[in-house]
Amino acid sequence: MTLHSDDQLKDDSYATGYPTDSIDWLRRLIGFDTVSRHSNLALIEDVQAYCEQLGLTVDLTFNDAKDKANLFVTVPAGANADEVNHGLVLSGHTDVVPVEGQDWTTAPFTATIRGDKLYGRGACDMKGFIACALTLLPQAVKLSHAGQLRRPLHLALSFDEEVGCLGAPLLLADLKARGITPDYCIVGEPTNMTMVVAHKGVAVYRCRVHGQSAHSSLTTQGVNAISYASRLIGYVDELADEISGRDDNDEWFDVPYSTLSVGTIQGGTATNIVPNLCEFTFDYRNLPHMTQDDILVPIKAKVAELSAQMQARAADTGIELLQMEAVPAMTDSDSAELQALIAALTDDDTRHKVAYATEGGQFTNSGIPTIICGPGSIEQAHKADEFVALSEMARCDAFLQKLLASATSQS
């Protein structure tokens, strides 16, 4: 690990050509079109160059196509120390959702300040937090060089969070292979700078019901895929009602039970043809103490029952059940110490649990106690004219300053 000389460390702006405050960093980040279907490499390479100017070593993990990357960088503890283990991770995803079909009044990939708000795609979800974290790095490097940083500070940037949290598992696997085991993680999703201590998991499934076509005047010669799909959908709805009434629900969540919901359906070709194919999707959002098996076991049993009925009429019919997406729940079972630290730094002991999923569950599944806390409101995410209040950015800057101070030998 190489750090700059004392002369180079006299000013926080020694990374030449890069912003020195979080608002300017956010402007820069919004300027990169990192919609999930596009590459994020331009943004990642820009941040990499910034970190390398600070004397930090950057590690990248790529997707199979090599057109997207995660970034992980560490400010080590102590003067010129090689100690990169333990410490705290500040985590954020670099991808954003599309803007097509939305009625924007500003250019979505050009940051615009109007009044007390900064508008742009990703302003709150979640480039605002990343901007604050990047602004903090030079000060952390100076403290490390001076021997005052008692524990490492890590920054983790991921790809493809918005389409199933696909990047973070690669980053976490790389950390494990390198023997890096951070003590804690803060995922900076927009929470209005309040503390989210747990969230539900989400799994998305696609059912393909394969029937047999026939003329609708000869229904006995066909197997109606839509009819059998409707029976399975009815069962999914019954199961949803059943799990909502369990006695182990969690009232901390706004929806205090696990949910099942059918989202899309398509099938058939014409009214006078018995349909040979029907597809539908459903998602399962589970409380942290529940698993996919709680719904998969009974659904698979129902699939087997209906498939047997279909195959009794035509051998090449049946039902496929495919998992399309799975993001684990984030539990609060091991984060009490981190929660206490955050509460002390923010003077706010309020704790929330939420129904949406983040990469936090992947960190907790890897044994890293995690909370979610970041600037902006989730209510603004994914919408036209997405914004973050400038006051929220200031609150995040102040919070990260206090967090850094808590990790120094002077605290």
Question: What is the number of domains present in the chain?
Answer: 2
Cβ 397 vs Cβ 22: under 8 Å: yes
Domain-embedded: residue 369 = yes
- pLDDT tens, 301-335? 999 999 999 999 999 999 999 999 999 999 999 99
pLDDT of 14: 65
Residue 38's φ and ψ, nearest 5 degrees, are -105, 165
- pLDDT tens, 232-284? 999 999 999 999 999 999 999 989 999 999 999 999 999 999 999 999 999 99
Which of these, 190, 21, 23, lies nearest to 112 by C-alpha position? 23
Q: Which of 125, 161, 189, 385 is catalytic?
A: 161
Q: Distance between CA 189 and CA 126 in Å, rounded?
A: 6
- pLDDT tens, 24-57? 999 999 999 999 999 999 999 999 999 999 999 9
pLDDT of 4: 40
Tell me the two tokens of residue 261: 């919901």
Mean pLDDT, range 334-358, rounded to an integer: 94
Q: pTM for this structure?
A: 0.91
Q: Does residue 225 surpass a pLDDT of 70?
A: yes
Buried b (16+ CB within 10 A) or exposed e, 225-242: bbbbbbebbebbeebbee
Buried b (16+ CB within 10 A) or exposed e, 30-54: bbbbbbbeebbbebbeebbebbebb
Claim to verify: residue 157 and residue 249 sit in the same structural domain? no
Domain span at residue 312 reads 201-327
Claim to verify: residue 159 and residue 284 sit in the same structural domain? no
Q: Distance between CA 100 and CA 83 in Å, rounded?
A: 46
Mean pLDDT, range 211-217, rounded to an integer: 97
Residue 161 annotated in active site: yes
Mean pLDDT, range 117-129, rounded to an integer: 98
Claim to verify: residue 125 and residue 100 sit in the same structural domain? yes
Claim to verify: residue 156 and residue 85 sit in the same structural domain? yes
Domain-embedded: residue 1 = no
Cβ 94 vs Cβ 44: under 8 Å: yes
Residue 95 annotated in active site: yes
- Which sign, positive or negative, has the C-alpha torsion 327, 331, 337, 340? positive
- In 10 A of CB 124, how many CB atoms? 32
Q: Distance between CA 312 and CA 326 in Å, rounded?
A: 33
Mean pLDDT, range 334-341, rounded to an integer: 96
Q: Which of 95, 125, 160, 392 is catalytic?
A: 95
